[in-house]
Amino acid sequence: MNDVAVIGFARSDRSVTTSAVETLVPVFEQALAQAGLGRREVDFWCSGSSDYLAGRAFSFVSAVDAIGAVPPISESHVEMDAAWALYEAYLKILAGEAETALVYGFGMGTAGDLNRVLALQLDPYTVAPLWPDAASVAALQARLVFEAGLISERDMAGMTAVRVADGVSAVVLAARDRVRGRPAAWISGIAHRVDPQGLGERDLTTVPSAAAAAHDAGLDGAVDVAALHAPFTHQESLLRHVVRAGTYLPFETNPMFAAGLSRIGAAAAEVMSGRARTAVGHATSGPALQQNLICVLEGLEA
Amino acid sequence: MRRAAVLGTGQTEHRTRRTDVSMAGLCREAIERALADSGTDWSQIDAVVLGKAPDLFEGVMMPELFLADAIGAAGKPLLRVHTAGSVGGATAIVATTLIRAGVHRRVLAVAFEKQSESNAMWALSIQPPFSAPITAGAGGYFAPHIRSYIRRSGAPGHIGALVAVKDRRNGALNPYAHLRQPDITLESVQASPMLWDPIRYDETCPSSDGACAVVIGDQQAAEQSSGQVAWIRATAMRTEPTFYSGKDHVDPRAGAEAAAALWAAAGIKDPLDEVDVAELYVPFSWFEPMWLENVGFAEKGQGWKLVESGGTALGGALPVNPSGGVLCSNPIGASGLLRFAEAAMQVMGRAGEHQVAGAATALGHAYGGGSQFFSMWVVGRNP
């Protein structure tokens, strides 16, 4: 459709203080400078974050202070990775309700014991009381992947493991009429799906929601570059079966709730710089790759 | 812009503790009623949007993940919205955007809160270092704003009690309402204990378990619907910081600007004249006159006169909260969607005993945080 493009991206894989606000302000400035937009020229703001990472209710409320929302702004928030906030902003532009948007995500993965915190995403009546931590759930999946012969422990040892980190990221979107010759990565397709969560409810060696999202996003054949959001290395391998690319961008960190948006931003940066003609940014959420989003980007010539 | 319409609505019986159902069961109760009301089956739902207030209220991180199957989202796109108290309204608006963007035909919006699963006061009381307290207990936070309203407008002291009597009696007409008090009187409200001056016990919202669901469709789906639909004529959301130099908690700029944008988009020039019924987010009785002014139904300082004259009662010039409103049922995450759903029910002519006769245009309104997040829609019997 090529009606909406990424025109700015910035991220920080560390936090300045215990508050997201101080970390977000310079990242907003960088992303908007790259986009060539002032903050008052943003029609719609949308963010993704989690109260459970911040350890308090309404944690996104104080992040609004980073925007300077006086006079008031059009704004929304998802309790998800900010890649899904990007999807909401993309729709807002497609619907004609906005022409520009700034999407941001933030998370302090190191503030608590993330491995245990994520156990609280599981069914609270039957599973979470057993406190299966995130690494244990991922290990169940990895064991099945080994046994299916999809990847060896040796292969896995050769892949870079991402570490939990603090981080923020920001992406600027614009409608076709507002791109006006700026470097742009056009969103040719974006889609997301969720699988049922029950660990016995799907074949954990497959990722149906990622495959369906890739299909919905019009992903057809290999792209030049892919940025995959894989919290564990065997998951990177599973995702590479879904998204085929000439180059997979390396990532060292997984700043939860900003990480997926960062993958889209990094993929877009490859296209905007001309290093890639086609790229995919991917985000995941939930245990064992339960929920997945695929964003297909391309340069102007495509 | 593409048209969108509410095809049907559903909600649960709201109670302090719905121990008869799980979170999944609570959501299903509302969803299945919405599907039946809209004449839609599960296979026709293209995507699901789930809204709720803080996850700490149930003690489950991102509960939509474990609920995916139960809410019919497995294998489909699922979005989870959280915009504080305005979230129910924001959930309906995001679902509307999914239709207006042209990516889906029918979207299910569902919002819930099951406060009995955890302890909301605990959830609001966690105090991280180096951050300002959020002042657990909404009544204590909002009471000074009400006192300021009374001082500015010169409103007589019984206005809040009048609103409470009206809403609780309206709630008695609503079979789903948590509090149903047909015999409540001005005297009984004024005799109830003072909690946060000037807010008395009978002037506050309850703490409820409950859910609400709405099916939103595109123009074709609306035209194929066998029942009357509620056309979504306009939506608006605005945000401002909790505190800033010049912040007016009595008449927040974000609320006024959201309403102005809403009326402009809907082509409404005189809201009091052109809107037949309004569902305003009124967790404490005095917020009715405050919001009447903020959204433009009354001049500044005059909202209380519309209340005192009976203008906001059923049969008045502008019935406000015929469902009983937040004062009768408050499953926080769902409270905004209940306002939006009641507005739709009114123009669809399916509001039962609390139906406003001839309602053709209705407002749904929600707010959250420190009077800083606003979401609103106008629905009509005609596009």
Residue B53 reports pLDDT greater than 80: yes
Residue B132 reports pLDDT greater than 70: no
Q: Check CB contact under 8 Å for A291 and B237.
A: no
Among residues 85-114 of chain B, which lie with CB inside 8 Å of chain A?
A: 90, 93-94, 97-98, 100-103
Average pLDDT, chain A: 94
Domain ranges within chain A, ordered by starting residue: 4-110+164-185
Contact B45, B108 (CB under 8 A): yes
ipTM above 0.95, yes or no: yes
Among residues 10-49 of chain A, which lie with CB inside 8 Å of chain B?
A: 17-19, 45
What confidence tens digit (pLDDT) does each residue in A190-224 have? 999 999 999 999 999 999 999 999 999 999 999 99
Q: Which residues of A touch B97 (CB under 8 A)?
A: 88, 91-92, 95, 97
CATH superfamily membership of A4-110+164-185: Thiolase/Chalcone synthase (3.40.47.10)
What is the distance between the alpha carbons of residues B274 and B263, in angstroms, rounded to a whole number? 10
pLDDT range class, residue B128, cuts 50, 70, 90: low
Q: Check CB contact under 8 Å for B82 and A57.
A: no
What confidence tens digit (pLDDT) does each residue in B198-256 have? 999 999 999 999 999 999 999 999 999 999 999 999 999 999 999 999 999 999 999 99
What confidence tens digit (pLDDT) does each residue in B330-379 have? 999 999 999 999 999 999 999 999 999 999 999 999 999 999 999 999 99
Distance from CA of B256 to the nearest CA of A (A): 10
Average pLDDT, chain B: 96
Does this model's pTM top 0.90? My answer is yes
pLDDT along chain A (302 residues), means of 10: 89 79 94 97 97 85 92 97 98 96 93 93 96 94 94 82 91 95 95 96 96 97 97 94 97 94 98 97 98 95 44
- What local confidence, expressed as pLDDT, does residue A302 receive? 40
What separation in angstroms does the CA of B56 have from each of B33, B63, B115, B253, B333? 27, 10, 10, 29, 12
**Between these two residues, B133 and A67, which has the higher pLDDT value?**
A67
B-interface mutation test, from A43, A47, A51, A99, most B Cβ less than 10 A away = A51
pLDDT range class, residue B130, cuts 50, 70, 90: low
Weakest-pLDDT range from B114-128, B154-168, B219-233: B114-128
Question: Given phi > 0 = left and psi -120 to 50 = alpha, else beta, which region is B209?
Answer: beta
- What local confidence, expressed as pLDDT, does residue A181 receive? 87
**Percent of chain B at pLDDT exceeding 90:** 92
Q: Check CB contact under 8 Å for B128 and A18.
A: yes
What is the distance between the alpha carbons of residues A280 and A81, in angstroms, rounded to a whole number? 17
- What local confidence, expressed as pLDDT, does residue B129 receive? 64
